[in-house]
Chain A
Amino acid sequence: GAVVSQHPSRVICKSGTSVKIECRSLDFQATTMFWYRQFPKQSLMLMATSNEGSKATYEQGVEKDKFLINHASLTLSTLTVTSAHPEDSSFYICSARSGGRGETQYFGPGTRLLVL
Chain B
Amino acid sequence: DQQVKQNSPSLSVQEGRISILNCDYTNSMFDYFLWYKKYPAEGPTFLISISSIKDKNEDGRFTVFLNKSAKHLSLHIVPSQPGDSAVYFCAAINTGTASKLTFGTGTRLQVTL
B-binding residues in A (CB < 8 A): 1, 4, 6, 32, 34, 42-44, 46, 49, 57, 91, 93-95, 97, 102-110, 112
B100 partner residues in chain A, CB cutoff 8 A: 34, 46, 49
Partner of A43, one of B32, B45, B105: B105
Across the interface, which residues of A come within 8 angstroms of B99, CB to CB? 32, 97, 103
Beta-carbon contact of B44 and A104 below 8 Å: no
Chain A contact surface mostly = strand
Tell me whether A109 and B43 are in contact (CB under 8 A). Answer: yes
- Quick one: closest A residue to B104, CB to CB? A43
- Bound Cα distance from A97 to B98, whole angstroms: 11
Q: List 29 A-B contacts (CB under 8 A).
A: A1-B46, A4-B43, A6-B43, A32-B99, A34-B101, A43-B89, A43-B103, A43-B105, A43-B106, A44-B44, A44-B89, A44-B101, A46-B101, A49-B98, A49-B100, A93-B44, A95-B43, A97-B99, A104-B34, A104-B46, A107-B36, A107-B43, A107-B45, A107-B46, A109-B42, A109-B43, A110-B41, A110-B43, A112-B41
Q: How far is the CA of A11 from the CA of B49 in the complex (A)?
A: 33
- Tell me the number of A-to-B contacts counted with CB atoms below 8 Å: 54
Known: A43-B89, A43-B106. A108 touches B41 (CB 8 A): no
Q: Which residues of A contact B42 (CB under 8 A)?
A: 109-110
Number of contacting residues on B, CB 8 A?
A: 21
Chain B: CB-nearest residue to A94 = B43
Docked CA distance A94–B103 (Å): 14
B27-63: which have CB < 8 Å to A? 32, 34, 36, 41-46, 49
| B34: chain A residues within 8 A (beta carbon) | 103-105
Q: Does B12 contact A (CB under 8 A)?
A: no
- Those 9 A-B pairs whose CB atoms lie nearest each other, nearest first: A107-B43, A43-B103, A110-B43, A107-B44, A109-B43, A103-B32, A93-B43, A43-B105, A108-B43
The interface residues of chain A lying within 8 Å CB-to-CB of B101 are 34, 44, 46, 95, 105
> Quick one: which of B32, B43, B98, B99 has the most chain A CB within 10 A?
B43
